[in-house]
Amino acid sequence: MTDKKRKILKKWEDEKKAVKATQVAFDVGEKIQYVIRKEALDRSINPSDRIRQILGLSVSRKPKRLRLSISLSDDDMAYLAKVYNLETSDPVEVKRRAAEKLVEHVKDIDKKEQ
């Protein structure tokens, strides 16, 4: 068997495992969610990995880059493009400018706290 075929078979085995996994959502209240999310942030892991740790489950993933994300509608994108004086056809630049605004927001908070 060639290496390529082995890789394909391995990929399908991994896919089977993913299909067998069950998504579980916990309705535990705002305070519990806040504490778990804060613990995850303090440990530079995602909340799912923190929940796995608390439950005594394995956490086999490598640490990921933490990202902030939101969903933007077409109207949201158009609004931001207008605010930044850009074309809506340039979502990458809109995203870059929005990220800059987030960075500036934190810098302003840091200045106020000093």
Q: What is the model's pTM?
A: 0.56
* Residue 62 amino acid letter: K
**What contacts 49, CB < 8 A, 6 or more positions away?**
40, 59, 61
Tell me which long-range contacts 47-55 makes (C-beta under 8 A, separation of at least 24): 51/26
CA distance 102 to 67: 12
> Does residue 27 carry a pLDDT above 80?
yes
Q: What is the pLDDT of residue 19?
A: 66
CA distance 66 to 96: 17
CA distance 5 to 32: 46
